[in-house]
Chain A
Amino acid sequence: MEQFLATFLNINIWQVAKVFVLLGLGVYLVFAFIVVRQVRLMTEVVSGILTSSLRLLAQLFFLFALAVFIFTWLFL
């Protein structure tokens, strides 16, 4: 019991904060993936207006979110 309490009390608060930040960024990453899919679907509904540019933009958005997630995981 004491050992458990000691372990619990010795938890680094910033490590816990990091986990929460990563969780938030994970949700963001899922959101970015949904954006990529949705942009693809919408450019299929109406094609010929900036189709490739918008798809590229959505993919860059996803890659950026992924890069931030990895950067946070490694360096925070």
Chain B
Amino acid sequence: MPELYSAKTARKPASKTVSSSQAKTSNKRDFLPHRQGNSFSSLLVLPSQKVRFETQEPEEEILMILRAHWVTNLSWVLTALLLFWAPLLLRFFPLLVSFPTRFQLMFVVVWYLVLLMYVFERFLSWFFNLSIITDERIVDVDFLNLTTKKVSDADIDKIQDVSFTHNGAVGTVFNFGDVSVQTAAEVPEFVFEKVPSPSSVANILQRLRTEEKVEALEGRVR
């Protein structure tokens, strides 16, 4: 008798009820790119277990974390650089000469404080505007300004339609754009703004949606 055949009969029969996590582990998700990215990346694929979000369930796995492409920061970085050197203009245009020296110094200090505030606010705004894709849902974290944040999520199986656009010439050159996700959840539309490789992200969402449908058919819904 062939060894292969005897090996098959020797195995224990597989349990009919496979837990969701087991099923997900066995599923390789070959449509996902390799693990990549660091804390400042616009695209983190399969981040470490340390990275978690507030409403994450114990068995839920983060597949991707997306931010706006780093190129979108160039405008405010260049503005900040210009503003950083702006006080040097006072050497050529002595506008503050009628002020006492200590007030002239104060003007420069306040200038840099405002600049620091601007840079910090813009950085935080970019850093915390996240879109998270897990094996169960999509989460959109919007850091609207320093006093307002908005966190919304929708299950993958609630996704109805996924589309993407490239934003202008810069978006085409650097391959970033918006991914729009229509859902049947409370929030009808999620927009992942200016994310890198929007076509890949849209494709991954479609594949995850298919995966969820297959799981629902097989009765492996968590």
Indicate whether A45 reaches chain B with its CB closer than 8 angstroms: yes
**A42-B124, A65-B113 are known contacts. Are A49 and B51 too (CB-CB below 8 A)?**
yes
**Could you say which residues of chain B place their CB within 8 Å of the CB of A38?**
124, 146-147, 149
A72 to B48, CA, bound (A): 45
Contact A42 B106 (CB under 8 A): no
Q: Give B72-127 interface residues, CB cut-off 8 Å to A.
A: 100, 102-103, 106, 109-110, 113, 116-117, 120-121, 124, 127
Question: Is the interface on chain B under 10, 10 to 19, 20 to 34, or 35 or more residues?
Answer: 20 to 34
A26 to B62, CA, bound (A): 41
Contact A72 B106 (CB under 8 A): yes
Contact A68 B109 (CB under 8 A): yes
Contact A31 B117 (CB under 8 A): yes
Indicate whether A8 reaches chain B with its CB closer than 8 angstroms: no
Q: How many A-B residue pairs have CB under 8 A?
A: 73
**Could you say which residues of chain B place their CB within 8 Å of the CB of A34?**
146-147
Indicate whether A17 reaches chain B with its CB closer than 8 angstroms: yes
A48 to B51, CA, bound (A): 4
Contact B113 A68 (CB under 8 A): yes
Q: State which of A41, A48, A75 has its C-beta within 8 Å of the C-beta of B149.
A: A41
Indicate whether B53 reaches chain A with its CB closer than 8 angstroms: yes
Q: Across the two chains, which residue of chain B brings its CB closest to A65?
A: B113
A37 to B39, CA, bound (A): 21
Contact A14 B51 (CB under 8 A): no
Q: State which of A21, A48, A61, A65 has its C-beta within 8 Å of the C-beta of B106.
A: A21
- Contact pattern, A 33-76, Cβ under 8 Å of B = 1, otherwise 0: 01100110110111111100010010001001100100010011
Contact B113 A45 (CB under 8 A): no
B120–chain A nearest beta-carbon distance, Å: 6
A28 to B54, CA, bound (A): 30
| Interface of B toward A, CB cutoff 8 Å | 39, 47-48, 50-54, 65, 100, 102-103, 106, 109-110, 113, 116-117, 120-121, 124, 127-128, 130, 132, 141, 143, 146-147, 149, 151
18 cross-chain CB contacts under 8 A? A21-B110, A24-B110, A28-B113, A28-B117, A31-B117, A35-B120, A35-B124, A42-B128, A44-B54, A45-B54, A46-B54, A46-B65, A48-B52, A49-B39, A61-B116, A65-B113, A76-B103, A76-B106
Given A25-B113, A35-B146, output 4 extra A-B contacts at Cβ < 8 Å.
A25-B110, A46-B65, A57-B120, A68-B109
The 10 closest A-B pairs by CB, nearest first: A48-B51, A48-B50, A42-B128, A50-B39, A49-B39, A45-B54, A46-B53, A47-B52, A38-B146, A48-B52
